Chain A
Amino acid sequence: MQFAFYIAGGVAVVATLLAITRLSAVHALLYLAVSLVAAGVVFYTLGAPFVAALELVVYAGAIMVLFVFVVMMLNLGSRATEAERALVTRGAWTGPLALAIVLLAEMAYLALRAKTGAHSGTMVEPKQVALALYGPYALGVELASMLLLAGLVAAYHLGWRRRSEMEKEDAVNTDRTRADSGRDPVHAGDGRLARTP
């Protein structure tokens, strides 16, 4: 069980580092999905099977998929990767990296100094979590559902366009995408002609 924790943790850290340094959005998203799955495994080794499953289903399975949908809809092509290369220079990383290293050192110092509690093998049962949710945290659950409703309405409203507009845009975008990629259904074009999704 300990091995699984360290290996999954290592995979999560490496995958996250790769995710933020990639130039292509799709590559970064895939690495992020790997990182989230590894985090799910970490949760399981910590004795939280319920949230491990939730992380896989909701985070890696819904939120990441949403990201992938949007990136695919934008259909940026290889031109975006070139543009990204120009934006993310070596010099841009120095400041944030310095700050992050300071924070990391501080965290490591605190973690190593504390009394090492043994990895508790006790599992927190899903039943306990459910009882907590129905009991003391019931108000929080209601608020969370209201938040999700608000998010739903907001996303719908922000994405809504008149039907005739959408049909015209869809036709134009399809023609543009076809011309851009040379009628190749698999490979994206270089994003020369890509416009509104």
Chain B
Amino acid sequence: MVGLLVRRNVVFQLMSIEIMLNAAGLAFIVAGARWSQADGQVMFLFILAMAAAEVSVGLALVLLLYRTLHSLDSDRASSMKG
């Protein structure tokens, strides 16, 4: 979370989001292990699928951003068109 707030490079921001998702998944697994239920692992599977979809779309957006702005600074992406 600290990484997401501090870094301005969008690749680092995406990485920090992945770290956060992994941490949430870890919490789910621990909870599942605590009560010996399979639900924690199932939830982690869903989080994993969601993270994969989000990363692919996010990185495609990063590439588009770089093509138009020629920079990965998220502060530069501050004007809306039209």
What residues of B have a CB within 8 angstroms of the CB of A62 in the complex?
52
What residues of B have a CB within 8 angstroms of the CB of A87 in the complex?
7-9, 73
Residue contact A151 to B56, C-beta cutoff 8 Å: yes
Residue contact B52 to A96, C-beta cutoff 8 Å: no
The reply to whether the CB of A132 lies closer than 8 angstroms to some CB of chain B is yes
What residues of A have a CB within 8 angstroms of the CB of B16 in the complex?
20
Residue contact B73 to A129, C-beta cutoff 8 Å: no
**Total chain A interface residues with beta-carbon distance under 8 A:** 67
- The interface residues of chain A, by DSSP majority, are classed as helix
CA distance in complex: A147, B14 (Å) = 19
What residues of B have a CB within 8 angstroms of the CB of A42 in the complex?
26
**Total chain B interface residues with beta-carbon distance under 8 A:** 54
B1-32, CB < 8 A from A? 1-3, 5-9, 11-12, 14-16, 18-19, 22, 25-26, 29-30, 32
Flag B41-66 by CB within 8 Å of A: 1 or 0 each.
Answer: 11011101111111111011111101
What residues of A have a CB within 8 angstroms of the CB of B81 in the complex?
none
Residue contact B19 to A20, C-beta cutoff 8 Å: yes
A63-B51, A96-B1 given; A39·B26 CB < 8 A: yes
What residues of A have a CB within 8 angstroms of the CB of B15 in the complex?
19-20, 28-29, 32, 67
Residue contact A129 to B38, C-beta cutoff 8 Å: yes
What residues of B have a CB within 8 angstroms of the CB of A70 in the complex?
11, 59, 62-63
Flag A25-47 by CB within 8 Å of B: 1 or 0 each.
Answer: 10011001001100100110011
Taking Cβ atoms with an 8 Å cutoff, the residues of B that contact A are: 1-3, 5-9, 11-12, 14-16, 18-19, 22, 25-26, 29-30, 32-34, 36-42, 44-46, 48-57, 59-64, 66-67, 70, 72-73
10 chain-A/chain-B pairs, Cβ below 8 angstroms = A20-B16, A35-B19, A63-B55, A92-B6, A96-B1, A97-B2, A99-B5, A117-B34, A120-B36, A124-B40
Given A35-B22, A144-B50, 7 more A-B residue pairs with CB atoms under 8 Å apart are A20-B12, A67-B15, A84-B9, A87-B8, A96-B5, A132-B39, A137-B42
